[in-house]
Structure 1
């Protein structure tokens, strides 16, 4: 057995002079037989070291030593089966690790520890009591009326005005223009020659247009507008 040496050696660590790349925690042993186990493992060519076993509290993360104190035996991970055989052969303790308390007990212990921390904080700083104040929230805005619930107030246009009635002179002028068009297009339909139909058709169209233009002049003069007259 040798004392800690080299980098990475923790406080209270003791090894058997052999080194390994990876370590495996084999079991917790009595400190009185730990050094003897290191010598046995060194004789078997198995790297091992001892380190004080510690427990970490779940909430405070404080480190404490178990009661009774024990050493944790670490061995070469590649030779953990051979190391377990050597340790089992020279110790009377069972190879199984320390029993883990049931989860319900652990939860109870954690709750008790948390309650103790809260009680200590309240004893030091006093208990903070928040008085319930009435809330003065503004009333919610009124709900908007749905489009489907809106009143049926659509616009109804007035009835259209009646169509203007043509004056007899304008009606005769249109009939004259229509007759002239027939004489120009198909004079033979009415028993006339093409030349005679052309002359009569042009005369009828010119006469009808003249009547319409004259009526437009009369209407403009009645309105009293001195603007341009077409």
Structure 2
């Protein structure tokens, strides 16, 4: 489990591509303070397992499912990536609950500077947008952000200087692909309302009208 608070920017040093998978080696610094074999590291928001490491570089396998759902397959040697270790039990929960399991990708539509912040608009599919609410949380390339605006085709976030300086987000351009992970609570609520617990659709007595009347 992660928080979406990026610890540092790493760099891809080697890529070994298989028929349907890849092996990445990533250079970092801060995350190696207590990194152990088998530990989880979020790379651009994707939860990967450290299978080997030395000289402040770790290696991770990326399976085909991950390549299909994320932008990791587009990385090149020298590409910069956002890195975060799994949350420690005594750590502060500065972002929101992030699983590291990407729901899909979005495309940057525009980037607009406004005073000391930068507005970033990202287009996404209906399958992703259905779980997003204005002022709710979204993870973009592993970064916990607040959805400031939402329409039927896109979401917008406002990036403060600190986030811009500590992550790769402001190095992106319109047309670039980013990894998106929805707040997991929305998916659990939908599952609860539409399933009988045995993978079958069922009607629930809990409706939107009932939730609204009770202040939800």
Whichever structure has more strand as a proportion of its residues is: 2
Structures share a fold, TM > 0.5? no
Q: TM-score, normalised by structure 1?
A: 0.20
Q: TM-score, normalised by structure 2?
A: 0.21
Whichever structure has more helix as a proportion of its residues is: 1
Whichever of the two has the greater Rg, that structure is: 1
The one of the two structures with greater contact order (alpha-carbon pairs below 8 A, sep at least 6) is: 2
